[in-house]
Amino acid sequence: MARAIPPQPKFLDRIDNGPNNSNSFVVTAGGNPFEAEEEEENEIFSKHKMVLRFPPNCSGDLMHLMVSKNWLICIIGTPDRMTLLRFFLPRAIPPGELAMEKYVTGSGYKIHKVFLDPTGHHVIISLLPRSSSAGVSADFLYIQCSETPQAQQLKLRRIEKFKDHEITAVAFNTYQGTDTSTGCILLGTSRGLIFETELGAGSTDGHAQRRQLYDLGLGRQKYPITGLELLRVPNSQRYVVVATTPDCIYTFQETLKINQEEFQQQRSLQAIFATYVTGAQEPQSEERKTDLTHSQLRFFAPPNSKYPKQWAWLCGAGIRTGELSIDPTSVTSLLGDTLIDLDFESGKHLSYEERRLIVPKSFVLTEYHALLLYPDHLKAICLLNQAVVYQEPLNEARVGRALSMERDPVTGSIYIYTDKSVFTIRIAREERNIWRIYLERGQYELAKAHAAAVPEHLQLVLSEHADAAFREGSYEIAANYYAETDKTFEEVCLKFMILPDKRPIINYVKKRLSRLTTAPNPKETNADMNAAIKALVVWLIDLYLIQINLPDQTETWRSTWQQEYSEFMRDPAVLACSMQHRVEVQQLIAQHADPHNLAQFAIAIGDYDEVIGQQLKAERFVEALQTLSKQGDLNLYYKYAPKLMEQLPEQTVDALIALGHKLEVEKLVPTLIVMETKEQRKQTMRYLEFAIYNLNTTNDAIHNFLVHLYAQHKPESLMKYLEIQGRDETLVHYDIHYALKVCTDLDVQVACVFLQCMLRMWTSAVDLALKFNMNLAKETASKPLDSATRRKLWLRIAYHDIKGTNDVKKALNLLKECKLLRIEDLLPFFSDFEKIDNFKEAICDALKDYNQRIQELQREMDESREQSERVCKELQQLRGHSISLNGQDTCTICEMMLLIKPFFVFICGHKFHSDCLEKQLIPMLSKEQSRRLATLKQQMETLMTGNSTNLKGQQVAPLIPSGEQKKRGELKSEIEEILAGDCLCCGILIDTIDQPFVDDWEQVNVEWE
């Protein structure tokens, strides 16, 4: 199927895309105006003809051409007619057209130079008199370009303020320039003067400003500025101006103290030259001897970048190239001193015509090459090694006379034009051989960076770098690079095995291991790869252990190697391999007699049981405890804590406390019974206290154990513990009987009294307290709730305190302390010969008390008699009490006539229908009353409906036996007792006023939801 031919722009000649046409191009949107058909890339540079279709009214030779941002400006003409055309390369739109003969040939001028700004909208044309007899002087034209949807508009005007000045160079302002204004730009003249001006849509002859900023010519009549560029260092306010003359290159640089916004408002570049004009500093300059009358300044910046990466200056000595500094504080902006010798000296003896052929007419700079245009050929020279990588002849008879070469500063496209043709230079991967140049020069890092895209090239660079480092004795660097190459493992290892320093071979083997684990070879099977990994891991372990245990080495040496070995063993891939082959690794470490690393390996693979066992066997108890603390198997705590408790009681208990609830306290009893020393007992009690008070353990054995330790070694803490546990025998967590036995055996009397009280052994508790503390005995005697028991206990205290002493004062004090005792209770404890005068006051008080009690009893009897008489009188009155009802009486609840249904009438006057009263009372009844009422009503209903029916199925009036009638009366009376026991309004509602409206809120919430 034939491929469709894309539409061609009207101003381009149609070029068939046939198989025999090698120069087939189409316009592209990417900025490169013509792109060839896909073909094999053989040359870095290739020249392709670009055919422009000029308007029918335009003819003649091509005189000038400039390109920027895909806008192509060209001037074609004949002796009688000259036209400027403006093409937009990506799109097929009609070119802009401007007749020039009125301003040039018709006025006695010729075009000297054409300058185009980076936006492609501002054109500056430098004019010179056609001859000395033309009667005119140098002039300056400015063209403002704009576009509308219908066509392009080109407005030309003459700038009179620059009359008599031959403009030889222009530095456009890429930081201020727009489509409508150039911003502040610099103009260089043939006398070495640098001017400043601003051109745009609003600048006319009267408004274009001219300001001289500097004079390089110093009054010389002919000292042309051949190149001029304005730059700003990225991320700074440092501005650089580079100017060239035929024999010298100058650099002006200044850091402005204002920000970018203020600089934009000032619209002037004078501040850059201020210190140079005043003589405070001189511009940096480099002078070269030259026989040429011209020079050329070029910069290379990546597409769409405003700050160049490289610079080049074509002068009499050749081409000076270098890089630009991006450091705002750098003293020199133009770096580098590379000179590409073009062998101008050899042409001094040649004729003018012959010498013209060896001097470039123009050149452009690419990233790695300089492309030079000669009158009869095109040549590309590599900037790195000055080798000619491309050369193509130009047949003047066929393509025309070569005029110049231009590079689009925005897109990077390169154009060559003659008076008959336009060519574009296609660049195909110009960096393809740069890696080899860097490799030959020994710049291996740069070579690697440029060879990274092609694995074969990268391998060659790495091999060369590794060999060079090995020859220089940089064995570690060599090992690192050998590890990245494809050289055989055996070949590299043999190189390093003979070295006394094992660091290089260790590094090499580690990197090879890393390559195996991170990027395995797909050609190898899993079994082969696992075997290789195992061999490398085991060999590395052996090499490390040799270095760690090497005799006659310092501690720093061992520490360094040990740290590196530990990091190596923690690597996931190494750890996985070591765990898979743990037996072989353990045997290898054991052969080196390195218990520390054997223990570390056991920890790494999780075999803590073996590690701790070995450490305890070697009596390294601190290390054993540290290992135990690092692992997570709780069973090992139960197993090894007793042994550690013997040696490190405090540290062991700290480790147990740190685990908190994770440990089962009951399983630690074998650890806690180790109490041969005072410190061990102290730490055991500390952990038991932690378990009880912090872990809230309720195990009886643990509590009993602590009670026993307190009673035996710390009695003062026992009572505190007992008080915390409380006096309710159902809530304590220790065995009270066991605790009492322990305290009795160890003679802890206060605790015994406390425990006997809990067991209600009041008599024994008081008797024991009387032996050592009278106050405790009295407190104990006051605790029983039964007054008879309290009186009995106080009598024992009285007997103990008074018997045999006949101390009347003590007896009287006891009467004050216990109100249950009477003087008559204490008299038997005194001897028969004790004088009664000593008890006179006590006896009198007792008699007064008895008399008062008799009077109170008599008063209570009188009150009871009066109440009895009043009740009998009220009962007599109630027998004759009656209530009258009439037909208009209503129910208090429903307010309907009372007599229409059964009703209740209360003595207070309230009247209720029986069914209304029942509905109101049922919610207020208790559960028992509700159930009883339901049962009674069911029994009543059974009695009422339990009659037989006749044969025809009709009910007959039952004959009520006297027994059933009595039963029904009893049921009715009981129902009425429940419903009418008290008035609803005067009794029940008042009694229930403090009850909540809702008893079961949960049920209410469920219903509401």
| 401-416 pLDDT tens trace | 999 999 999 999 999 9
**Res. 523: pLDDT tops 70:** no
Residues 131 and 784: their CA atoms lie apart, in Å, by 142
Q: CA angle, 274 as apex, 273 and 280 as ends, to 5°?
A: 105
pLDDT computed for residue 436 by the predictor: 92
Confidence of residue 821 (pLDDT cuts 50, 70, 90): low
Write down the pLDDT at residue 809.
58
Q: Is residue 975 part of a domain?
A: yes
Residue 6 has a pLDDT of 38
Output the pLDDT for position 518. 83
- Does residue 70 belong to any structural domain of this protein? no
Would you place residue 815 in the very low, low, confident or very high pLDDT band (cuts 50, 70, 90)?
low
Of 693, 47, 691, the closest CA to residue 377 belongs to 47
Q: How far apart are the first and last CA of the chain?
A: 77
Most confident of 341-350, 586-595, 775-784: 586-595
Same domain, 817 and 903: no
Mean pLDDT (the chain, rounded): 82
- The residues that bridge with 378 in the sheet, in sequence order, are 373, 392
Asked if pLDDT for residue 354 goes beyond 80, the answer is: no
Tell me the pairing of strands 310-315 and 318-324: antiparallel
End of a domain among 822, 837, 853? 853
Is the confidence at residue 200, as pLDDT, over 80? Answer: yes
Q: What is the pLDDT of residue 304?
A: 79
Query: Distance between CA 64 and CA 62 in Å, rounded?
Result: 6
The model's confidence at residue 953, banded by pLDDT at 50, 70 and 90, is very low
Is pLDDT above 60 for 827?
A: no
Say how far apart CA 62 and CA 81 lie, in whole Å.
12
Checking if the pLDDT of 4 tops 50, the result is no
pLDDT, residue 961, reads: 67
pLDDT score recorded for residue 10: 35
Q: What is the C-alpha to C-alpha distance for residues 264 and 61, in angstroms, rounded to an integer?
A: 42
Q: What is the span of the domain harbouring residue 924?
A: 898-943+964-1008
**Does residue 225 surpass a pLDDT of 60?**
yes
Query: What is the β-pairing status of strands 362-365 and 82-88?
Result: unpaired
Contact call for residues 70 and 408 (beta carbons, < 8 A): yes
* Contacts of 806-812 spanning 24+ positions with Cβ under 8 A: 806/830, 806/831, 806/834, 808/834, 808/838, 808/839, 811/842, 812/842
Say which amino acid occupies 928: E
Angle at 622 between CA 620 and CA 626, to 5 degrees: 115
Residue 233: pLDDT above 50?
yes
| Of the candidate ranges 314-323, 654-663, 842-851, the one whose mean pLDDT is the lowest | 842-851
Per-residue pLDDT, averaged over 440-455, amounts to 89
Judge whether 151 and 159 are in contact, CB under 8 Å: no
530-555 pLDDT per residue, tens = 888 899 999 999 999 989 888 888 88
Residue 697 and residue 754 in one domain = yes
Question: 595-604 and 608-617 are packed helices; what angle lies between their axes, rounded to 10 degrees?
Answer: 150
Is the Cβ–Cβ distance between 342 and 351 less than 8 Å?
Answer: no
Give the SS3 label for residue 687.
helix
- Residue 909's pLDDT is what? 81
919 and 826 within one domain = no
Query: Are residue 908 and residue 1004 in the same domain, yes or no?
Result: yes
**How much is the pLDDT for 425?**
94
Structural domain contains residue 523:
no
Say how many C-beta atoms besides its own lie within 10 A of residue 9's C-beta.
19
pLDDT of residue 262: 65
996 and 910 in a common domain: yes
pLDDT band at 1000 (very low <50, low <70, confident <90, very high): low
Whose CA is closest to 673, among 718, 642, 714? 642
The band of 243, judged by pLDDT with boundaries at 50, 70 and 90, is very high
Whether residue 801 has pLDDT greater than 70: no
Q: Give backbone dihedrals phi and psi of 451, rounded to 5 degrees, phi first.
A: -100, 0
The residues that bridge with 315 in the sheet, in sequence order, are 318
Mean pLDDT of 88-95: 86
Whether 809 and 737 map to the same domain: the answer is: no
Under 8 Å between Cβ of 212 and 246? no
pLDDT at residue number 13 = 39
State mean pLDDT over 189-198: 93
Residue percentage of the chain with pLDDT more than 90: 27
Q: Regarding predicted confidence, which is higher, 293 or 958?
A: 293
- DSSP 8-state symbol, 909: S
Statement to judge: residues 925 and 977 lie in one domain: yes
pLDDT of residue 525: 65
Give the chain's domain count. 3
Average pLDDT over residues 644-669: 89
Residue 714 lies in a domain: yes
User: Whats the size of the chain, residue-wise?
Assistant: 1009
Q: Of the given ranges (281-290, 313-322, 751-760, 829-838), which has the lowest mean pLDDT?
A: 829-838
pLDDT at 71 over 90: yes
With CA atoms as reference, report the closest residue to 66 among 510, 536, 406, 444. 406
Q: Which residues of 548-586 are buried (b: 16+ CB within 10 A; e: fewer)?
A: beeeeeeeeeeeebbebbeebbebeebbebbeebbeebb
- One-letter amino acid at 463 equals S
Cα distance between residue 754 and residue 280, in whole Å? 103
Give 203's pLDDT tier (boundaries 50, 70, 90): low
* DSSP states along 696-733: ----HHHHHHHHHHHHHH-HHHHHHHHHHH-S-TTT-S
Mean pLDDT, residues 80-100 taken together? 89
Asked whether residue 612 is domain-assigned, the answer is: no
- What percent of the chain is helix, strand and coil (3-state, nearest 5)? 45, 20, 35
**Whole-number pLDDT of residue 320:** 92
Instruction: Clarify whether residues 841 and 935 are in a common domain.
Output: no
Cα dist. 982→691, 777, 991 in Å? 61, 55, 11
Q: How confident is the model at residue 825 (pLDDT cuts 50, 70, 90)?
A: low
Task: Lowest mean pLDDT of 2-16, 264-278, 342-356, 444-458, name the range.
Answer: 2-16
Per-residue burial over 975-1009, b = 16 or more CB atoms within 10 Å of its CB, e = otherwise: beebbbeebbbeebeeeeeeeeeeeeeeeeeeeee
The last residue of one of the domains, among 853, 883, 917, is: 853
Look at residue 499 in the predicted model and tell me its pLDDT: 87
The Cα–Cα gap between 282 and 275 comes to: 8
Statement to judge: residues 722 and 816 lie in one domain:
no
Residue pLDDT, tens place only, 41-68: 578 999 999 988 888 888 889 999 999 9
Would 737 be classed as within a structural domain? Answer: yes
Q: What is the pLDDT of residue 915?
A: 87
The verdict on residue 254 lying in a domain is no
Q: Does the reported pTM lie above 0.85?
A: no
Q: Which of 511, 517, 519, 518 is nearest to 533 (CA)?
A: 517
Residue 1008: C-alpha distances to residues 993, 995, 998, 1000 (Å): 25, 22, 13, 13
What number is the average pLDDT over the span 149-159?
88
Q: How far apart are CA 721 and CA 748, in angstroms?
A: 14
Query: What CA–CA distance (Å, rounded) separates 118 from 181?
Result: 12
| pLDDT band of 816, cuts 50, 70, 90 | low
Q: What is the pLDDT of residue 667?
A: 87
Q: Is residue 968 part of a domain?
A: yes
What pLDDT is attached to residue 726?
87
Residue ending a domain, among 744, 759, 774, is: 759
Does pLDDT of 676 surpass 90?
Answer: no
pLDDT band at 811 (very low <50, low <70, confident <90, very high): low
Residues 912 and 1001 in one domain: yes
**In this predicted model, what pLDDT tens digit does every residue of 7-36 receive, in sequence order?**
433 333 333 333 333 333 333 333 343 343
